[in-house]
Chains A and B, each alone.
Chain A
Amino acid sequence: MWRAYIGVIQKEFRQGLRDRNTLRMLFFMPVIQLLLLGYAIQTDVKHLWLDVYDTDRSELSRKLVASLKAGDYFDVTDMETSGDNAPLWRLDQRFKEGKAEMALVIPEDFARKLETNQPVTVGWIADGTDANAARTGIGYAGQILRQFSSSVIGRQPNVQIRSEFLYNPEAESRFFMVPGIVATLLTMLTLMMTSMSIVRERELGTLEQVLVTPINSVTLLFGKLTTFTIMAMMIMGIALNLGILWFHVPFVGSWAFLIAVSLLYLLTTLGIGMFVSTITSTQQQAMFYAWFFSIFTMLTSGYFTPVANMPIWLQRVTLVNPMRYYIEIIRGIMMKGSGVWDLHLDIMALAIFGVVIFSFSALRFHKRTT
């Protein structure tokens, strides 16, 4: 059986290396996806377009506007207004045209009230379309205004917060995303490769030819899966190294640990790939299912969205999503240097899923081919 096993691996690699599409997929997809997503994904709310209607135009109001301009939270546009109240229709229109996301209205008596130690209220209007940006913008505004207030009055509130960021001191959202991207790549590619490869053999009739030989389906299966595992590891290597070298994503923990866990995770994805191959009859169908599974897994894994933000029923669904645990583990290893004990719950979950899904799919495959 050993010879048969080696034979299968040799064949799969020969085919794979010759197939331009597979090559494209194996090398370019990780690169492109990583670059694209690494650059495109910016979840920090920054550069909000802020229209300022300053009806006071005093030194103090200019100072306030300046403090809003400082830093990259807001991109400020000074709306020229004269004496009377800012025409609200213009504000609305700017919102509709998408030219402004926030607006600040400073009343005429701004400086006067401040100088005479009276409280003064400014109006802050947010476009609620992007709810997150609106909320965050209001939060930022509050913070900046409080600081401005304190500096003008010359008095700080006595209690302050000192913040510290661990494991991502620059708070780069990219670092947060790259591990997730790696996990997604691994998932999508192994799912597709596995399911399509098996289905293709069935379509061409070569599966039949192979089954006529003394090989048993287990050896055949393992041969194929070994090949895909090796390819998947290569892809992961490329993607991770790209992330580390190009984007300077930190890698604090142990490579060996990461590889071991990834192999464990592959049990799941390869298993699902096998399963898909038993329920489809054409390659297109296989690819379609694989793609759909990947998207579903990705969206419910906590990669894009924190699990805590999802509706309760969806949160429960994520509990049975192996990718969710894998991403936790990758993030932990890469950014925090977490060890086996820190992540033992996630590892156990991954192991259980892996073994169950893999065994189930392998049995199904075996039944279907004999």
Chain B
Amino acid sequence: MKKIRFIAQKELYHILRDMRSLIIIFVMPVMMTCLYGYAINMDIEHISLAVIDQDQTVQSRALIERFYRSNYFFPPKYPVNYHDPDQLMRASNAAAVLTIQPGFERAVQTQQAFELGLTIDGSEVSQAAAVQAYASGLLNEYLQDRLPPGTTLPGVRLAQQVLYNEDLESAHFFVPGIVSIILLMVSALLTSITIAREKDTGTLEQLLTAPVSPGQILIGKLLPYIGIAFIDGLLVLGFAKILFSVPFVGSFWLLMAVELIYVATALSIGILVSTMVPTQQLAMQFALLLTMLPSVMLSGFIFAVKNMPVFLQGVSRIVPATYFLKVVRGIMLKGSGFAVLAPQAGFLLILMMIFLLMAVRRFRARIG
């Protein structure tokens, strides 16, 4: 026990004295939270819409105003006059063009059939189908507004309600995910570097000549990182609250408990990487590749897993972040309890054990 404590202490000194480690621990989580929190927003909003109004009537202007008043569309920065939607899009840098041909007002007033043209630049707009849906919705609103008050048309109406994240803040979706990314980064990255560093400088050999077992070395080295990971987790959560007002509805301790499993998994992966790779520099590259990339891309952090090809969905199942992400979002935004999240925690636990076993085995083999 004492030996473990000494190894842990030494590790702590290493960390505190290495500027790079300090930056990874304290600066990066904050910066990444800000970066990801502010920069990532997949909402389809603020699409620059140019309008060709060939009708030029009160009604046509009312329609245009209805479009621009919504969050979805706004006028392009450089107003230009062209009659061809294609040219207009290019010249004004708009992502979509609404064409109102002459006769719009008349058609509206006399209930005649009329067609509006909507040209969408498929290369600018990443979610073209949704844009279409919103435009159709806005047109509908406009038509409804024109009806005399109190008219109820036959037909189906939609009463909508949003549960959890009622204000539909995009940040609330992404920021909890950042916790999983940061924890992973700190744990996996730092451990892989630290073990590789000892190998590089030859101090690992030195350690092994002392009466310490590989297991004790491993545990001693890992302890500080568990602590650091938790501190970072709290740091990110704090920023989530302060900067983005992300709610925390569920149980804090449940989150901490699952976090422990997750951190252990990440650490195991870090150790695993360090045993597979000869130098520190490579360790960092591999750690980044094997942990960050799948965790950001395939865990559901940004992109929906269910829409990916089956192969990638399978890969996503062995990415620990996938499960942790569900837990974090569930606890923070929905107040999900243990009963609901048990399966996720369970999978995470299994992953942890697999990675841990692999890591320990390889570590022993490498050293002995």
Question: Interface of A with B (CB < 8 Å)?
Answer: 21, 36-37, 39-47, 64, 73, 92-93, 95-98, 114, 117-136, 138-143, 145-146, 148-150, 152-153, 156-171, 173, 175-177, 283-285, 287-288, 291-292, 295-296, 299-300, 304-306, 308-311, 314, 331-332, 334-336, 338, 342
A305 in complex: contacting residue of B42, B154, B307, B333, CB < 8 Å: B42
B157 in complex: contacting residue of A119, A128, A159, A167, CB < 8 Å: A119
Question: Top 6 A-B pairs ranked by shortest CB distance?
Answer: A168-B122, A128-B165, A149-B155, A308-B46, A335-B123, A139-B133
Which chain A residues lie closer than 8 Å to B169 at the CB level?
131
Across the interface, do A161 and B123 meet the contact criterion of CB distance under 8 Å?
A: no
A296 to chain B: closest residue by CB: B35
Given A122-B156, A145-B156, A173-B127, 6 new contacts (CB under 8 A): A39-B308, A64-B156, A139-B133, A142-B137, A163-B120, A285-B20
Q: Would you give the 0/1 interface string for B134-153, flagging 1 where the beta carbon is closer than 8 Å to chain A?
A: 11110110010000000011
* Total inter-chain residue pairs, C-beta < 8 Å: 309
A120 to chain B: closest residue by CB: B156
Which chain B residues lie closer than 8 Å to A177 at the CB level?
126
**What CA separation (Å) do A167 and B165 show in the bound complex?**
35
Which chain B residues lie closer than 8 Å to A284 at the CB level?
20, 193, 280-281, 284
Across the interface, do B116 and A161 meet the contact criterion of CB distance under 8 Å?
A: yes
CB distance from B331 to the nearest CB of A (A): 10
A49 to chain B: closest residue by CB: B306
Across the interface, do A43 and B127 meet the contact criterion of CB distance under 8 Å?
A: yes
**What CA separation (Å) do A140 and B85 show in the bound complex?**
25
**What CA separation (Å) do A114 and B104 show in the bound complex?**
30
B303 at the interface (CB under 8 A from A): yes
What are some 8 contacts across the A-B interface (CB < 8 A)?
A43-B126, A64-B156, A117-B154, A131-B43, A132-B42, A132-B173, A150-B155, A162-B116
Which chain B residues lie closer than 8 Å to A314 at the CB level?
38-39
Which segment of B107-115, B265-273, B352-360 sits at the interface? B107-115
**What CA separation (Å) do A137 and B188 show in the bound complex?**
37
Across the interface, do A136 and B130 meet the contact criterion of CB distance under 8 Å?
A: yes
B164 in complex: contacting residue of A41, A127, A311, CB < 8 Å: A127
CB distance from A352 to the nearest CB of B (A): 19
Known: A39-B308, A96-B334, A140-B133. A304 touches B39 (CB 8 A): yes
A161 in complex: contacting residue of B46, B118, B121, CB < 8 Å: B118
Known: A37-B297, A304-B302. A139 touches B140 (CB 8 A): no
B66 at the interface (CB under 8 A from A): no
B205 at the interface (CB under 8 A from A): no
